[in-house]
């Protein structure tokens, strides 16, 4: 989704602004009514498409959504340096 937004609109979602519970609940409702998820994601849009921190936070957030938040992508990145 972020790649399509970047390519077509020049924006991406700053996932650090998206509440996990709201996102998961609205995803469940989206087949019935997509207005809630659209509104939530719209509020998280940013034009910082080349900002590494926004990108990395998005990866971290995806692990949180999958309840695999035992390690941070920032910790992995620090080990490379």
Contact 58, 48 (CB under 8 A): no
Cα–Cα distance between 75 and 36 in angstroms, integer? Answer: 33
CA distance 20 to 68: 13
Fold for 2-80, please state it: Fic-like fold (1.10.3290)
C-alpha to C-alpha distance for 6 and 68, rounded to whole angstroms: 26
Residue pLDDT, tens place only, 16-66: 898 888 988 898 988 888 899 999 999 999 999 999 988 888 888 877 766
| DSSP code for 1 | -
Q: 0.75 cut: is pTM over it?
A: no
Question: What's CA 7's distance to the chain center, in Å?
Answer: 16
DSSP 80: H
């Amino acid at each position: 989704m972020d790649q399509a937004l970047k390519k077509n609109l020049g924006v991406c979602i700053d996932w650090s602004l998206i509440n996990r519970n709201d996102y998961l609940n609205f995803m469940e409702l989206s087949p019935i009514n997509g207005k809630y998820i659209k509104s939530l994601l719209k509020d998280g849009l940013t034009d910082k498409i080349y900002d590494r921190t926004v990108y990395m936070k998005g990866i971290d957030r995806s692990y949180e959504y999958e309840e695999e938040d035992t390690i941070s992508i920032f910790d992995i990145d620090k080990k490379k340096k």
